[in-house]
Amino acid sequence: MSSTPRRSHSDRILFLVTILVGSFLLFLVQPMVARMALPLLGGAPNVWNSAMLVYQALLLGGYAYAHWLGRFELRTQGWIHGGLLVLAGLTLPIGLVDLPPAPEGREVLWVPLLLGLSVGPVFFAVSAQAPLIQRWFAADPEAGQPWALYAASNLGSFGGLLAYPLLAEPLFSLQTQSLGWALGYGLLVLCVLACVYVRRARSGRERGFGEDTAQASAPSARRIAVWLALAAVPSGLMLSTTTHLTTDIFAAPLLWVIPLGLYLLSFTVAFADWRAPARLISRLAPVVVVLGGGYAMASNGIGGLGAVALSCLLLFCVAVALHTRLYDLRPGPERLTQFYLVQSAGGALGGLFTALVAPMIFDWSWEHPLLVLAAALLMPLRPLLGWRERDDIEPGMAVLAQNILLALAIFLAWQLKDLVVDPAAGIWSVLLTVFLVGIGVLLMASRAAFTALVLIAMIGQGGAWTVLSSWRGERTRSYFGIYTLRDYPESRTRTLAHGTTLHGKQSLDPAQAHEALTYYGPGSGVGLGLRALPRLYGAGASVGVVGLGTGSLACLARPGQDWTFYEIDPVIRRYSTDGTFTFLRDCTPEAQVVIGDARLKLEDVAPGRFDALVIDAFSSDSIPLHLLTREALAVYIRALSEDGVLLVHISNRYIDLDPVIAALAKDAGLAAKSRLDLPQDRERYTPSRWIALSRSEQILEDLAAQRPDMAWTALPEAQGVPWTDDHASILPYIRWSQLTGTP
């Protein structure tokens, strides 16, 4: 009698460790494989969303397999799953399969194929262990309920997710990471086999799930549909929050980690044995939906860091509220694997909508506000003020009061829409927002009225300007980003922005239409470098440009020069060929525009092809690591003539790239100089930093001598090792003061 509780406790620890190890490995491998694929895929937010879609599909397959396996007795389950783990382990250590490059416009299908073939077997096998281990745990009638193990599973996933950018990526090369993951996989196999052994040793007490499942009442179609919806909305909202934040609010480094981490933590709260936190968050979630959901239609940086915090709070509260409702609707343990299978299917549906369908049908991240509205329709609503339930208020008067409140909300939102873009109106904007939240609290008694109020708040908090931009046709969406095209009649200019970052500008005045603006002005490093080419290399210099943008650099070309542009996104090329921007058409009509990843395309050019090569391919403020590694630099240098010059644009709000380039230059034995341009005319030109590198120090001296009044400076002393395809981390170079707003 005394040994049974101790034995059950030791069993629980074994199953808990197995769950934690498997989940930790599952979410450690996701960013690791995405990092391996970076040289092939670039750094667009949709690449991460495509990766998540693959993982959700594999997770669904693993849960379906676990559900199917439940029909066998435990001994047979152990043999089958053990065999699967061993077979999947034969594909280790993890590496990318060799696929032909993605056809133009097919990246949305090619990326999942690459990741699925590369990591599919082990990910499938590991993903099945969570529902299986819970089922095996519950097979002992004395073990207790298994749901807390699911909370532990997501806690392990959260740990794996954080461990990668904070520990694995900064400290270890990809090869070491892969080997370490393989060792962890071996530990998991041993843990799983130990769980099977423990349950086989107690087979006399095993709960007969096979019979119980057959006799238990199957959930209704409506119940399954509710499970699907409650799982799909948080999953889709997690991905849409990532896109919305990194594209339209705050393109900061490592920001993609936060939505996924909060999503995983929501399961830990919602499925925990201690129910108080889940109940409290679910009760407050509607208030957060009105407050944070108001920014779901905001774009172009409206709201700044505060909007980031509210968006993350919104995601967490919505996910906890919906997952708590999912927990409340759970079946008995005999239907455990079916429940998790449906939940996984819902997660995959949410990911499918956000990562695959939305980019093809929307011109902006409209999936984000749609999912917030869906959350408002699904979350539990318990009115904080029960005024509609009072006996002295007639139903007709209650409806009238509700409509008056909605009309007042519309008026407040109409006033708010102009204030959100006025920095001087901060206090009034906050006051109107507080009133909107108060109305939302009053309307919680009616789900339809509450959802309408959330939509009204979205329109007021910047959504009106977002709707207007789409109505005017100013936006275009591709796999690589969301672009906004705007004309400003007062200054007679046209701009192209990628998310919150300006990509280029052209004057609509014919007399100034060929002038390079923004980062490419007369004092910029690239402006000085390209204007010096005739003196450095003669009239027939050959120029390569990585990153087309609006084509501003084309009008720095001189007669007789040979220009080639490299651009990964066909949408950007279309802007320069359909007359939207005329730099390319007017100044370099004979220039070749090569579509595809520039690094891969440059590997195909003849050695010494270019006298000057310009690298200007950042998307918003994200850093394409694969363009700033030792291997990438070797590709550039090979494509340059013996005394050619490499001009690299490193302007960035949040990451200090000077030390990165300094380490690369020192490693390659290149001379390097830096040009920081701080133009006085900020209406036309943008501050920028460019780095010039060359095998020939004399070339850089001649370049600097071209305009002695515009100084080039030495790079800081190289510190640390250079980035490589196998090992690179932005963590040491983040400008934390810029992220936090501290001086």
Whether 154 maps to a domain, the answer reads: yes
Give the span between the Cα atoms of 38 and 50, in whole angstroms: 13
Say whether both 107 and 255 belong to one domain.
no
Distance separating alpha carbons of residues 83 and 64, to the nearest angstrom: 17
One domain for residues 270 and 357: yes
Percent of the chain residues topping a pLDDT of 70: 85
594: enclosing H helix or E strand: strand 592-595
449 within some domain: yes
Reading the block at residue 362, the tokens are 């929307």
Contact between residue 551 and residue 583 where contact means Cβ atoms under 8 Å apart? yes
Q: Is residue 505 part of a domain?
A: no
Kindly state whether residues 190 and 287 are assigned to the same domain. Answer: no
Whether 194 and 247 map to the same domain: the answer is: no
- Domain boundary (479, 508, 533) is at 479
Tell me, yes or no, whether 273 and 396 share the same domain: yes
In a domain, 734, yes or no: yes
The answer to whether residues 34 and 92 belong to one domain is yes
273 and 206 within one domain: no
Strands 562-567, 481-488: pairing kind? unpaired
Q: Do 270 and 167 lie in a common domain?
A: no
In a domain, 258, yes or no: yes
Whole-angstrom CA distances from 540 to 61, 133, 534, 563, 610 are 58, 69, 8, 10, 11
Query: Using CA atoms, how far apart are residues 120 and 515, in angstroms rounded to an integer?
Result: 51
> Residue 213: its pLDDT value, please?
47
Give CA angle at 489 (484, 494), nearest 5°.
35
CA gap 601, 133 in Å, rounded: 47
As a whole number of angstroms, the distance between CA 596 and CA 560 comes to 26
Residues 287, 161 share a domain: no
Question: Which of 199, 215, 231 is a domain's end point?
Answer: 215
Domain end, chosen from 215, 231, 265, is at 215
Beta-carbon neighbour count of residue 622 at 10 Å?
A: 26
Domain count, the chain: 3
Position 511 in a domain: no
First CA to last CA distance, the chain: 65
Are 610 and 710 found together in one domain? yes
Q: What is the pLDDT of residues 1-26, one digit of tens each?
A: 444 555 555 677 888 889 889 989 98
pLDDT at 195: 86
Interior CA angle at 608 toward 527 and 632, to 5°? 75
Note down the domain range covering 473: 223-334+353-479
Torsional sign, CA 336, 342, 348, 354: negative
What pTM does this model have?
Answer: 0.79
Phi-psi region of 26 (alpha: psi -120 to 50; beta: other; left: phi over 0): alpha
CATH, residue 156: 1.20.1250
Please give the pLDDT value at position 1.
43
Q: Examine the domain organization and report whether 204 and 73 are in the same domain.
A: yes
Q: Is 487 left (phi over 0), alpha (psi -120 to 50) or beta?
A: beta
Q: Please name the residue ranges forming H helices in 128-173.
A: 129-138, 147-163, 169-171
Tell me what pLDDT residue 742 has: 46
502 in any annotated domain: no
Question: How far is CA 221 from its chain centroid?
Answer: 34
Q: With respect to residue 344, please indicate whether it lies within any of the assigned structural domains.
A: no
Same domain, 1 and 148: yes
Please tell me the distance from the alpha carbon of residue 271 to that of residue 111, in angstroms, as a whole number: 33
Residues of the chain with pLDDT under 70: 1-10, 38-50, 101-108, 141-145, 147, 200-217, 246-255, 300-305, 384-398, 419-426, 500, 618-624, 736-743
Count of residues in the chain: 743
